[in-house]
Amino acid sequence: MERSEFFSTQAGRTINAPRQTCSRFGIGEVVRHRIFDFRGVVFDVDPVFANSEEWYQSIPEDMRPPRDQPYYHLLAENEDESYVAYVSQGNLIADMEGGPVDHPTVPQLFEQFKDGRYRMRRSLTH
């Protein structure tokens, strides 16, 4: 399997990842955590775990997901607050609620919510 490297500012190190990965969700999709009660909109995807070792070790061992899967950056919300979440692919499911996410950063990154997903602002795309 071919591999490539990228520098993760969150991890503070170079990450070695497969050249091709299969992410289940794309930028702008609304997802839900399969265990915890929160949902969010995807704004970035890492091909493998690319956060700090300290963050990874803070996850209880019996719940710690494998590193070698896509990890998603979410503008997340629950009933009490809005925040940024970093979640493994195995812990996410499609959101069946179908409505927009009420996170204060959404208007900065996305233009509109249509057909169950957001469209990234043109000024932020390549």
Instruction: Sketch the domain layout of the chain as residue ranges.
Output: 3-124
At 116 the pLDDT is 87
Phi and psi of 118, rounded to 5°? -95, 155
Cβ count near 47 (within 10 Å)? 19
Architecture of the CATH domain 3-124:
Roll (2.30)
In single-letter form, the type of residue at position 78 comes to N
Q: Which amino acid is at 35?
A: I
pLDDT for position 3: 64
The predicted-structure confidence for 60-91, as pLDDT tens digits, reads as follows: 999 999 998 999 999 999 999 999 999 999 99
| Gyration radius of the chain's alpha carbons | 15
- Which has more pLDDT, 11 or 56? 56
pLDDT tier for residue 125 given thresholds of 50, 70 and 90: low
User: Residue 123: pLDDT band by 50, 70, 90 thresholds?
Assistant: confident
pLDDT in tens, 4-52: 666 666 656 666 656 666 789 999 999 999 999 999 999 999 989 999 9
Going by C-beta distance under 8 Å and a sequence separation of 6 or more, which residues neighbour residue 48? Answer: 15, 17, 18, 21, 67, 68, 69, 70, 71
> Given the DSSP bridges, would you call strands 82-88 and 92-94 parallel, antiparallel or unpaired?
unpaired
